[in-house]
């Protein structure tokens, strides 16, 4: 039988909507994404991937530093309908979280995108049943559709915002406003399929859950117009990532020998391009967060 799934947070049914539980699950999702190995051109247990200012220890410090942020977001969202006021309150909390992240990492951007993505899902989960991923994403999207009138000018012209405009892609803001289609429609289904395959043929993959999560990341990379890749390497990097990810899938996924070979080639290609699929990593963390909530039931 495959290894039992790790407990990512408090699984007591008495704490389903507790902000403390949501914050713990959010931090655990960031930690699990960071530790997952081997990821293509991303920070993991092997090293820094395509990043020069990040390593696994830095990512873990950042994740732990963001617990108060996710807790404050969940608490602020309790019994609050989506509104301009809530959107702007959460934005202020998120900016405080960025300062905490930068202090913990010595100025490196480890999780700015995850603060937005996972933070919104914490807000969505604060007043929805933890197993109802669609309702959580719908509420998060309703909040994201309000503009923050107090966004600093620097944030308005961030790398992601500029790249999204230049290349005509959705970016993190568009993903959130659309209800997280790469989490609901790609990430969670890929994770479920990979786990189902392990259940039907447990001897095939002793690594079990890690391979299922890697397959989930690869599925997201294959589909996502990742602004992190576009910023660092342009269209060439995005196409290389998507093509390489599809080769992993066609080769049978990470559990297959040919799939692992294709994954290693994708890693080498993206590192050579100095390009990292950071947007896909954020959406993997979001997928793991919602999955951990499903398992609270």
Instruction: Please write the tens of the pLDDT for every residue from 105-133.
Output: 999 999 999 999 999 999 999 999 999 99
Interhelix angle 278-294/133-144, rounded to 10 degrees, is 130
User: 1 lies in a domain?
Assistant: no
Mean pLDDT of 78-82: 93
CA distances from 34 to 60, 114, 250, 266, 282 (A): 7, 12, 25, 18, 10
Evaluate if residue 14 carries a pLDDT over 50.
Answer: no
What's the pLDDT score for residue 32? 98
User: 11 lies in a domain?
Assistant: no
If DSSP codes are grouped into helix, strand and coil, which group holds residue 151? coil
Beta bridge partners of 44: 47
Structure tokens at 55: 């390593």
User: 5 lies in a domain?
Assistant: no
Give the angle 137-138-143 at the CA atoms, nearest 5°: 95
What's the pLDDT score for residue 154? 63
Q: 10 falls in which pLDDT band (50, 70, 90)?
A: very low
- The region of weakest confidence among 59-73, 188-202, 265-279 is 188-202
User: 280 lies in a domain?
Assistant: yes
User: 232 lies in a domain?
Assistant: yes
Structure tokens at 200: 């039907």
In terms of Cα–Cα distance, which of 62, 180, 174 is closest to 123?
Answer: 180
DSSP H or E segment with residue 143: helix 133-144
CA–CA separation, 170 vs 249, rounded Å? 24
What's the pLDDT score for residue 200? 61
User: 2 lies in a domain?
Assistant: no
Q: How many CB atoms lie within 10 A of CB 163?
A: 21
Mean pLDDT of 176-183: 98
Q: What is the pLDDT of residues 26-50, one digit of tens each?
A: 999 999 999 999 999 999 999 999 9
Percent of the residues in the chain that have a pLDDT greater than 70, as a whole number: 89
What's the pLDDT score for residue 206? 56
Q: How many CB atoms lie within 10 A of CB 53?
A: 12
Evaluate if residue 264 carries a pLDDT over 80.
Answer: yes
| Residue with the two structure tokens 């108060």 | 68
What's the pLDDT score for residue 167? 85
Q: 65 falls in which pLDDT band (50, 70, 90)?
A: very high
CA–CA separation, 99 vs 138, rounded Å? 28
Domain count, the chain: 1
| Residue with the two structure tokens 């997928």 | 287
Q: 297 falls in which pLDDT band (50, 70, 90)?
A: low
Please report which residue ranges of 66-208 form alpha helices under DSSP H.
67-77, 84-105, 112-125, 133-144, 153-156, 159-167, 171-177, 181-182, 188-200
What's the pLDDT score for residue 207? 73
User: 70 lies in a domain?
Assistant: yes
The domain of 80 spans 16-294
What's the pLDDT score for residue 161? 74
If DSSP codes are grouped into helix, strand and coil, which group holds residue 44? strand
Evaluate if residue 135 carries a pLDDT over 70.
Answer: yes
CA–CA separation, 125 vs 65, rounded Å? 21
User: 7 lies in a domain?
Assistant: no
Q: How many CB atoms lie within 10 A of CB 233?
A: 21
In terms of Cα–Cα distance, which of 161, 166, 60 is closest to 116?
Answer: 161
Evaluate if residue 25 carries a pLDDT over 80.
Answer: yes
Average pLDDT, the chain: 91
CA–CA separation, 139 vs 257, rounded Å? 41
């Amino acid at each position: 039988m495959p290894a039992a799934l790790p407990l990512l947070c408090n699984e007591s049914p008495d704490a389903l909507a507790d902000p403390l539980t949501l914050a713990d699950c959010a931090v655990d999702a960031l930690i699990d994404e960071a530790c997952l190995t081997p990821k293509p051109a991303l920070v993991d247990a092997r090293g820094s991937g395509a990043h020069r200012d990040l390593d696994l220890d830095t990512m873990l410090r950042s994740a732990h530093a963001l617990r108060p942020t996710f807790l404050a977001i969940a608490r602020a969202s309790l019994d609050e309908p989506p509104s301009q006021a809530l959107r702007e309150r959460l934005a202020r909390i998120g900016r405080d979280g960025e300062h905490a992240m930068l202090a913990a990492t010595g100025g490196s951007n480890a999780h700015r995108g995850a603060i937005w993505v996972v933070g919104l899902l914490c807000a969505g989960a604060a007043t929805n049943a933890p197993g109802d991923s669609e309702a959580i994403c719908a509420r998060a999207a309703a909040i994201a559709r309000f503009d923050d009138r107090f966004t600093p000018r620097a944030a308005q012209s961030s790398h992601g915002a500029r790249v999204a405009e230049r290349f005509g892609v959705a970016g993190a803001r568009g993903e959130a406003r659309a209800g997280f289609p790469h989490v609901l429609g790609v990430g969670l289904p890929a994770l479920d399929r990979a786990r189902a395959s392990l259940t039907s043929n447990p001897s095939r993959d002793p690594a079990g859950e890690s391979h299922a999560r890697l397959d989930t990341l690869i599925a997201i990379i294959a589909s996502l117009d990742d602004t992190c890749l576009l910023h660092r390497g342009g269209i060439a990097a995005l196409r290389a990532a998507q093509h390489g990810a599809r080769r992993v899938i066609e080769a049978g996924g990470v559990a297959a020998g040919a799939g692992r070979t294709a994954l290693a080639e994708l890693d080498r290609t993206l590192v050579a391009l100095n390009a990292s699929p950071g947007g896909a990593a954020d959406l993997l963390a979001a997928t793991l967060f919602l999955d951990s909530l499903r398992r609270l039931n």
